[in-house]
Structure 1
Amino acid sequence: MDVEEKQVLAQSVTEWLGLPPRLLRLLSAVHEAGHAIVAHTVDLKVTAAAVASFDTIGLGGDHISISIAAGQFVPAPDILAMRAAGFQASFMWLDGRGIDGNREPYLQALNTLAAGDLNWCTDFSRTVMGRSPMQQHTVPGAYAILSRRWRAVLSLAYALADRGEMTEAQLQPFLCCGPQQQVAAREAYLAWRGETAHLWTAVAA
């Protein structure tokens, strides 16, 4: 997809959502905050986050960065749940505003915004695990964390939308807030991972 095609698609997503620029940027930040909070909860090191969206959403530049130490093995569901968390956080945020993310054109907008994550999950499932795409199986894992750490997601999202970029040191107070909620989220996530252990036959380094 060339630059012009990306711009046309981003404009379509922006129109589908029908949100003012301030909320478009916040939605981008919620997406990235969802990734970051789930990553932190499953013990992945989040080193940076950024959002670039203003009056148009989906042009790129929105991301988080994680660091995996040499020799560190990350269970497959942890990686997949972290990837699914952006879509799920966006869905939850829209739901909080009375918007049904399962209804078109919102579902198409969310799927388009999360296309990179969804494609990554598909490739990972097929190449590493030798299975069909499994992102649908990991959404409950992401939800187990996000629903219990939603205040942390929103706090981080508002900060990220305001600053545009955040370093590891700037992220830490937001990632570590609400220790009781963090413990509850971790316990709920591990319970889900145990219940679905038959699905996870591989790990990601």
Structure 2
Amino acid sequence: MTLWFRPLVFALLATLVLAIASPSAAHGSNSHEDKPVATATEPLSSSTASETPTASVTVAMEAETGPREEPGALRFLRGLHPATVHFPIAFFLLAGLLETLAISRQRDSFRSSVDVLIVAGTVGAVFATTFGWVHTGAWLGGDAPMQWHRWTGTGVAFAGLALLPAMRFKSRGPLRILLACVCSALVVQGYLGGELAHGSNHLM
């Protein structure tokens, strides 16, 4: 296993461990059986919604599973997700732009820069996905925007991992197709993140 691949594997393993461990550490000994299930689409009153961007998701999680009693370290880790999502978006979109310029000019002068940006975007996507799963734990509830945001972000991380070996191919065709899919998914992902942070139709 190459050295650059080991941190990515460890990060993915940490995602699974923290996703399983965080609900038990956060919820304490409270039982969640026989509790009414609510959805993330219920209106939030001013007394329940906080000023953080992920307030609606947090309130929806508490509505389904009960209030959380979490240590400060876990609260800190949960708050890192909004701070890490911007890096893979910037790196991958810039990589897509430079690769598009390389195609239009029929030259490979941007190839090394694109490869560096893909590696940086993949590392950022793995960390953003990891902290996203730490934020929600094993909670798989939520409405359609939440579901699409969760699995699109996870898919972007795995697509980034697939881009790494594609950089070694003689043909840039597979890399360009996959990179275009990642960039398109990130545009959708950014919109979904805005839906969760600022409400539906936030661009209007």
Interval of TM-score (by shorter of Structure 1 and Structure 2): under 0.3
| More strand by percentage | 1
**TM-score, normalised with respect to structure 1:** 0.28
Q: Which protein has the larger Cα radius of gyration, Structure 1 or Structure 2?
A: 2
